[in-house]
Amino acid sequence: MSFIPLDQLRASAQAVSHPPSAVSASRRLPPWFKVEAKTGPDYLEIKQTMDRLQLHTICEEARCPNRWECWNARTATFLILGDICTRRCHYCSVETGRPHAIDHGEPKRVAEAVQALGLRHAVITSVNRDELADGGAATFADTIRQTRQLSPDCTIEVLIPDFEGNAAALATVCAEKPEILNHNIETVKRLFPFLRPQGKYQRSMEVLAQAKQLGMTTKSGLILGMGETLDEARDVMRDLRSIGCDIMTIGQYLQPTREHLPVAHYYDPGDFAILKEEGRTLGFTHVESGPLVRSSYHAEQQVP
């Protein structure tokens, strides 16, 4: 995979607003991306429970290709703090705009859903809420507490935003002692300013480092295929290990809509297998790496 300059990526991103032929190549998926969209009793129960309790999942909002597999295995990732994000990342399909007011009943409803579904491991994430002083940390903490009250044997993983580097907000979440604290780095250092213009590579690393210092088992994820090289991906892996990150996920970017960044490159499953082994060599306790891997994929298998 060759180095792709930023100006070329910007031109590629601008092209998505033009005729469909500009993005048709990125829509021809390699054969290993065939996913069976199959519903079943477990899938339907999760769907009905989320609808009944008026809850969101990142599985649906981010158009995850694994949601049929995961929901049929009775796993789903709750999306709290609404479904409108204050940031606009070029690869993400979650809606950007002005969020609604905080729903203070949401944490209890998440806890009720975890209990009703009998989950052994719950993953809780959120949109960015940069307009809030604590970025939504108090809602994360309340959701963890309420879930523990109703399902004390359920392990909890939180996938948090960067809280704009607010150390007190991070401490609020860590004080509830989730089993895993996840914050996704998403892309390589060179592409960060373009792909995540409201985020900062070093700030994200500092969030993970601070969480580790607060006693958390930490986790992060990397998306490939947005213009990076494998050597740049390896640099991210080394950076994560240098701050003690325990768990890593690596997956392939898929263009969610015609308005999003086109895929720059589809990596072969063998590339993901190599990165998995290299991650183990670096010292990660678990590396989930493959074309369809997302940050919550097989999350229940990663609990220490």
**Mind listing the pLDDT tens digit for each residue in 101-141?**
999 999 999 999 999 888 888 899 999 999 999 999 999 99
Instruction: Find the angle CA(174)-CA(59)-CA(289) to the nearest 5 degrees.
Output: 75
pLDDT higher than threshold 90 for residue 98:
yes
Computed over every residue of the chain, the mean pLDDT equals: 85
* pLDDT confidence of residue 17: 40
pLDDT band at 64 (very low <50, low <70, confident <90, very high): low
pLDDT higher than threshold 90 for residue 43:
no
Q: Are 159 and 77 in contact (CB under 8 A)?
A: yes
* pLDDT confidence of residue 74: 56
**Of the candidates 197, 125, 205, 193, the residue with the CA atom closest to the CA atom of residue 165:** 205
Q: Are 258 and 20 in contact (CB under 8 A)?
A: yes
264 vs 65, more confident: 264
Q: Are 156 and 181 in contact (CB under 8 A)?
A: no
Q: Worst-scoring range by mean pLDDT, 3-12, 157-166, 180-189, 234-243?
A: 3-12
* pLDDT confidence of residue 46: 73
pLDDT band at 38 (very low <50, low <70, confident <90, very high): low
Mean predicted confidence (pLDDT) in 78-100: 90
**Which residues are paired to 124 by β-bridges?**
78, 158
In single-letter form, the type of residue at position 80 comes to I
Q: 6-302: which CATH number, 1.10.10, 3.10.50, 1.10.3470, 3.20.20? A: 3.20.20
71 vs 175, more confident: 175
* pLDDT confidence of residue 29: 80
pLDDT band at 232 (very low <50, low <70, confident <90, very high): very high
Alpha helical stretches, state H, 53-105: 58-61, 67-72
Alpha helical stretches, state H, the chain: 6-15, 41-52, 58-61, 67-72, 106-117, 137-150, 167-174, 192-195, 201-213, 230-242, 269-282
- pTM for the full model? 0.86
* Structure confidence by residue, pLDDT tens digits, 140-185: 999 999 999 999 999 999 999 999 999 999 999 999 999 999 999 9
pLDDT band at 26 (very low <50, low <70, confident <90, very high): very low
Q: What are phi and psi of 137, to 5 degrees?
A: -60, -40
